[in-house]
């Protein structure tokens, strides 16, 4: 989880969409592969179980994944970051530290499909926060899309009709704090290179998680370490294939494919973890997906840089 990858940077997305030589089949293929990789990440975390505390599991995922940052060391050392930029990186690191900890916890408490569906709320909170803090205009169509997405969340949670677990609350919190990370990434991506943005996130989150992990440390088994290494590997691979997808085709074509992750998550939860298929989760997730897709499509039609970032079922 995890970490904002190069393709989630809104500024970069806009440039890629403008200059891309469209290869739609390749874009769809790579985004399908991306979805499989990210759902595999979710399944591995689910397999890990609750024995390893969530803060420790998140820390080990990032610590083991630092090996993938070796190509980014030189750009990070050459970047002359200002005090303001370091502050923004610190803010993003704190937000992501809290978010990934809650995400790992939620995975041990609620079904995969619910985690996946509620992950889609992050772009909605980004849109709201951008209007409140960055002066972005909220046209009526975007307000209606936000309302529809929040209704989708209510359909999934169904407060008053069932007891909400701590996992549901954790996922709501995850969506909120990740929106902070996306907004800071939006600012930083216009000032420094993408490799610096990605590398600094991984470094700051690893540092932020270290004391939390130490406070609840449980010695992992070799199997648990291998699972977490698998999480780091598949997450990194997913970010790479997503880069290939966006390089091959416009975001308006590839983003809807990411929503198939909800289908994969439902199937995996049913076939592997014996989780029932909840029609309310599918309906609510579908409503959220429709809202995000509408916002993305309208932004593309108006040739404006989208505030709402691309969505993935995992944030690790």
- Of the CA atoms within 13 Å of residue 168, those in its CB half-sphere come to 13
Q: Are 242 and 7 in contact (CB under 8 A)?
A: yes
Per-residue tokens: 226: 């291998």
Q: Residue 104's closest CA among 161, 53, 70, 148?
A: 53
Q: What is the pLDDT of residues 66-92, one digit of tens each?
A: 888 887 788 888 888 889 999 999 998
* Conformational region of residue 23, where left means phi above 0, alpha means psi within -120 to 50, and beta covers everything else: beta
Cβ neighbors of 30 (< 8 A, separation 6 or more) are 241, 242, 244, 245, 248, 254
Q: What's the average model confidence in pLDDT over 261-288? A: 83
* Burial of 81 from C-beta contacts in 10 A (0-12 / 13-18 / 19+): middle
Cβ neighbors of 139 (< 8 A, separation 6 or more) are none
Q: Are 167 and 102 in contact (CB under 8 A)?
A: no
Q: Are 41 and 231 in contact (CB under 8 A)?
A: yes
- What CA–CA distance (Å, rounded) separates 2 from 231? 10
Residue written as tokens 């991506």? 189
Q: Structural domain boundaries of the chain?
A: 6-301
What does the pLDDT read at residue 300? Answer: 64
Angle, vertex CA 9, rays to CA 252 and CA 254, nearest 5: 20
Maximum CA extent, the chain: 55
- The winner for highest mean pLDDT among 43-52, 191-200, 244-253 is 43-52
Q: What's the average model confidence in pLDDT over 193-210? A: 86
First-to-last C-alpha distance (Å) of the chain? 1
Q: pLDDT class for 95, splitting at 50, 70, 90?
A: very high
Per-residue tokens: 119: 């992950």
- What CA–CA distance (Å, rounded) separates 59 from 164? 27
- Angle at which helices 54-65 and 222-248 pack, to 10 degrees? 60
| Lowest pLDDT segment from 148-152, 191-195, 214-218, 249-253 | 249-253
- What CA–CA distance (Å, rounded) separates 305 from 311? 16
- What CA–CA distance (Å, rounded) separates 156 from 118? 8
Q: pLDDT class for 99, splitting at 50, 70, 90?
A: very high
Q: Are 8 and 182 in contact (CB under 8 A)?
A: yes
Q: What is the pLDDT of residues 2-20, one digit of tens each?
A: 443 434 444 444 444 444 4
Angle, vertex CA 294, rays to CA 193 and CA 254, nearest 5: 50
What does the pLDDT read at residue 21? Answer: 54
* Burial of 135 from C-beta contacts in 10 A (0-12 / 13-18 / 19+): exposed
């Amino acid at each position: 989880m995890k970490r904002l990858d190069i393709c989630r940077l809104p500024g970069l997305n806009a440039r890629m969409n403008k200059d891309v030589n469209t290869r739609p089949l390749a874009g769809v293929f790579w985004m399908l592969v991306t979805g499989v990789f990210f759902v595999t990440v979710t399944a591995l975390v689910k397999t890990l179980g609750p024995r390893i505390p969530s803060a420790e599991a998140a820390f080990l995922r990032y610590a083991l994944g630092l090996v993938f940052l070796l190509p980014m060391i030189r750009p990070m050392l050459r970047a002359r970051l200002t005090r303001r930029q370091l502050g923004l990186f610190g803010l993003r690191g704190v937000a992501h530290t809290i978010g990934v900890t809650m995400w790992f916890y939620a995975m041990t408490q609620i079904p995969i499909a619910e985690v996946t569906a509620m992950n889609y709320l992050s772009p909605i909170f980004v849109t709201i926060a951008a209007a409140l803090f960055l002066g972005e205009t909220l046209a009526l169509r975007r307000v209606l899309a936000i309302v529809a997405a929040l209704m989708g969340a209510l359909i999934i949670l169904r407060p008053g009709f069932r007891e909400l677990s701590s996992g549901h609350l954790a996922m709501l919190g995850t969506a909120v704090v990740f929106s902070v990370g996306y907004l800071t990434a939006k600012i930083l991506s216009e000032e420094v290179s993408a490799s610096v943005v990605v590398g600094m996130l991984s470094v700051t989150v690893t540092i932020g998680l270290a004391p939390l992990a130490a406070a609840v440390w449980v010695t992992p088994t070799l199997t648990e370490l291998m699972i977490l290494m698998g999480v780091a590997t598949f997450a990194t691979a997913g970010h790479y294939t997503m880069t290939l997808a966006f390089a091959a085709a416009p975001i308006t074509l590839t983003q809807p494919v990411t929503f198939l992750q909800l289908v994969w998550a439902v199937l995996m939860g049913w076939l592997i973890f014996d989780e029932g298929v909840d029609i309310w989760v599918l309906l609510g997730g579908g409503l959220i997906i429709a809202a995000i897709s509408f916002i993305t499509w309208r932004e593309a039609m108006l040739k404006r840089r989208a505030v709402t970032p691309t969505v993935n079922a995992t944030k690790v």
